[in-house]
Amino acid sequence: MWKGEFRIILQLYEEMNMQVEKNKEYIVDIIDNGFQGEGIAKIDGFTIFIPNAIKGEKIKILIVKVLSSHAFGKIIEIIKPSDYREESDCTTYKRCGGCSLRHIKYNATLKIKQNAVQSLVNKTLENKLKVEETLGMDKPYHYRNKAQYPIGLNKEGKPVIGVFANRTHEIIPIETCYIQNKQSEEIAKYIFNFLVNHKIKVYDEKSGKGLVRHIVTKIGIKTNEVMCIIVINGNELPYEDILVNELTHKFENLKSIIKNINTKNTNVILGNENINLYGNGYIKDILGDFIFKISPMSFYQVNPVQAEKLYNIGVELADINKNDIVFDLYCGIGTISLFMSKFAKEVYGVEIVDEAIVAAKENACINNVTNTKFIAGDVEKVLDDLVNVKKIIPDIIMLDPPRRGLDNTSIENIRKVSPKKVVYISCNPATLVRDLAKLEDIYNIKSIKPVDMFPFTSSVECCAVLELRNCK
C-alpha cells in the first residue's frame, strides 16, 4: 500500500516543483535541433521539444504535454525565424510525418544530421572523434525507387489512396510527394481510378473486408524498368486482364505486374504469395558496375544514387587487398558483397533471410562473380561455424545490421575473431555508437561518415571504420 502512496506523493512533489505548465504559453529561444528534427528549448533548465522549430529561432509555444523530465510544445507564433527556414512546397508533410525536415533548407538538414551523430558520439564513446560532414544529394527530390500506397476508405466511406498520417493508419490523400518517383504516383493513381470506375471494393482495415489493400511500385533508376504489385485481400482481382492491358499500353517501361495475396489482419504490406499477371516477376537495376535482379520480396536500397556512394565509401575505407578474406554480415541480396569482390580474395555473405541469399547467389551469377559464397542462417551461428569449425578467419568484417544493431553474441564473436578492420554501416546512429563503445577497447575508431540516404527525413546512414589496435 505504501508504494502506491509514495508514488502519489512523488507525483505531487514533481507537480509542485514543475516550472512548466500544460496549456500555458511561453516565449522561448530554440537552442538546438534533436535527431528527429524537433527544436529544443529550455525553461529554467527544463527541456522542451517543439516540432518544426529550428535552432536560432525565437517562438511563442503552447505546452501540450508535460512529463517529469521534459515537455512537448507546439508553435503558436514564430517571432524571429531562422535564416534556414523555408516555405515547404508540400502541403501534407506535417501530417504524414515522413519529411520531418521539409521546412529547413537542404544544406542545413545535412548539418543537423551531422550534429545529431556527433552528439551521440560525445555522450557514448571514449574517443570523441569528429564526425565527418554528411554526404548529401545533388538533387534531393523524387529519389525513392520504391513506393507503397495504402488504399482504403475515408471517414465518409469513400475510396482513398495516399499515405498514412503520422502514427496512425488514417490515409491522407496526396497529389504529389516530393521524395517519390513521379512515375510511381502516375501508376498508382491510374490503378486507383480504374478500381473506382469499375466499382472494385477497396480494403477496410477496421472490418477486414474489401479487396485491394496496397499498390507497390519498384523502379530501376538506371534501367528505367518498372514493377507494379497489387496487394489484395483475396485470390481474384476483377477485370485484371483489362487492367493489365491498359497499364502495359499506358506505361511502356512497365516490365512486371504482380498480384500479391495478403488475407491476414496485419500491418505487413506484402503477403507470401505472388502471382505474375504480366512479365517474368522481376526487374533489373544497375548499381556501380553490377546488375541486380529485384523481385517483389527483395530488399534493395530505396535510394540507389546514395547507396552507390555509401558502398564505395565502405569499400574504400576497408582498403581491401587481393589476399583478404572478407565477411559481409547481414548481406541482403549481396550488393556490397559484389562491390568488395573486385578487390578481395574471397567474400562470405551471411543473411538470415533465405530469399535474400537465393537472390544474392543469382546476382553473383548474373555478374560472373566467382569469389563470393553466400550462406543463409543466423549471423551469430554462421559466424561461429565459419571461424571455429571451418577455420576460416576473416581479415575484414563488413556489417550492415538492422536498426536494432548487434546483439551481445555478435559483439563477442567479433572480439574473438578480431579482424584487422571492421566496417560498420548503420541506419541507426544510436545503436551504432552503442555497439562501437563495446569494441573501442580493442579497436581504434578511425572515422564516422554520415550519408544522407533519405533527404528531408530524420533518417541518416553512417559508415564507421574500426582498426584493430597494434595491428601490423
Residue 200 belongs to domain with CATH number: 2.40.50.1070
Q: Is residue 95 part of a domain?
A: no
Alpha-carbon radius of gyration of the chain: 25
Residue 201: predicted pLDDT: 95
β-strands 70-80, 58-66: how paired? antiparallel
* Domain endpoint, select from 252, 287, 322: 287
Please enumerate in sequence order all residues whose Cβ is within 8 A of that of 75, keeping only pairs 6 or more positions apart, or say none: 50, 51, 52, 53, 59, 60, 61
Query: Can you give the pLDDT of all 472 residues of the chain as single tens digits?
Result: 455 565 655 555 555 455 788 999 999 999 999 877 899 999 988 999 999 999 999 999 999 999 988 999 999 999 999 999 998 888 788 788 788 898 999 999 999 999 999 999 999 999 999 999 999 999 999 999 999 999 999 888 899 999 888 878 888 887 788 999 999 999 999 999 999 999 999 999 888 899 999 999 999 999 999 999 999 999 999 999 999 999 999 999 999 999 999 999 888 999 999 999 999 999 999 999 999 999 998 888 899 999 999 999 999 999 999 999 999 999 999 999 999 999 999 999 999 989 889 999 999 999 999 999 999 999 888 988 898 889 999 999 999 999 999 988 889 989 989 999 999 999 999 999 999 999 999 999 999 999 999 999 989 999 999 999 876 5
Please state the pTM of the whole predicted model.
Answer: 0.88
Q: Is residue 101 part of a domain?
A: no
Residue type, 197: N
Q: Is residue 412 part of a domain?
A: yes
Q: Is residue 97 part of a domain?
A: no
Residue 214 zone, left/alpha/beta (φ > 0; ψ -120 to 50; rest): beta
* Domain endpoint, select from 287, 315, 333: 287
Length of the chain: 472
Contact 144, 181 (CB under 8 A): yes
Q: Identify the bridge partners of residue 448 per DSSP, sorted by sequence position.
A: 464
Please enumerate in sequence order all residues whose Cβ is within 8 A of that of 15, keeping only pairs 6 or more positions apart, or say none: none
Do 400 and 342 lie in one domain? The reply is: yes
Residue 1: predicted pLDDT: 46
Cα–Cα distance, 232 to 226 (Å, whole number): 20
Q: Is residue 323 part of a domain?
A: yes
Q: Is 99 in the active site?
A: no
* Domain endpoint, select from 261, 287, 313: 287
Q: What share of the chain is helix, strand, coil (3-state, %, to 5)?
A: 30, 30, 40
**What is the tally of structural domains in the chain?**
3
Chain-centre distance for alpha carbon 154: 28
90, 99, 228, 427: the catalytic one is 427
Cα–Cα distance, 136 to 397 (Å, whole number): 26
Do 73 and 115 lie in one domain? The reply is: no
Do 261 and 326 lie in one domain? The reply is: no
Do 130 and 215 lie in one domain? The reply is: no
Residue 47: CATH number of its domain: 2.40.50.140
163-170: long-range contacts, CB 8 A cutoff, minimum separation 24? 163/92, 163/96, 163/98, 164/96, 165/95, 165/96, 165/97, 166/95, 166/96, 166/97, 167/97, 169/205
Cα–Cα distance, 260 to 237 (Å, whole number): 10
Do 124 and 74 lie in one domain? The reply is: no
Cα–Cα distance, 360 to 355 (Å, whole number): 9
Do 132 and 156 lie in one domain? The reply is: no
- Structural domain including 453 reads 109-138+302-468
CA distance between the termini of the chain: 64
Chain-centre distance for alpha carbon 47: 28
Q: Is residue 90 part of a domain?
A: no
Do 332 and 464 lie in one domain? The reply is: yes
Do 157 and 241 lie in one domain? The reply is: yes
Q: Is residue 255 part of a domain?
A: yes
Do 221 and 264 lie in one domain? The reply is: yes
Residue 322: CATH number of its domain: 3.40.50.150
Do 217 and 271 lie in one domain? The reply is: yes
Angle, CA of 280, 339 and 411, to the nearest 5°: 110
Do 341 and 324 lie in one domain? The reply is: yes
Cα–Cα distance, 440 to 437 (Å, whole number): 5
Across the chain, how many H-helices and E-strands are there? 11, 22
Which helix or strand (DSSP H or E) is residue 245 part of?
A: helix 240-250
Do 419 and 458 lie in one domain? The reply is: yes
Residue 37: predicted pLDDT: 82
Q: Is residue 418 part of a domain?
A: yes
The string of DSSP codes covering 367-403 is TT--SEEEEES-HHHHHHIIIIIS----SEEEE---T
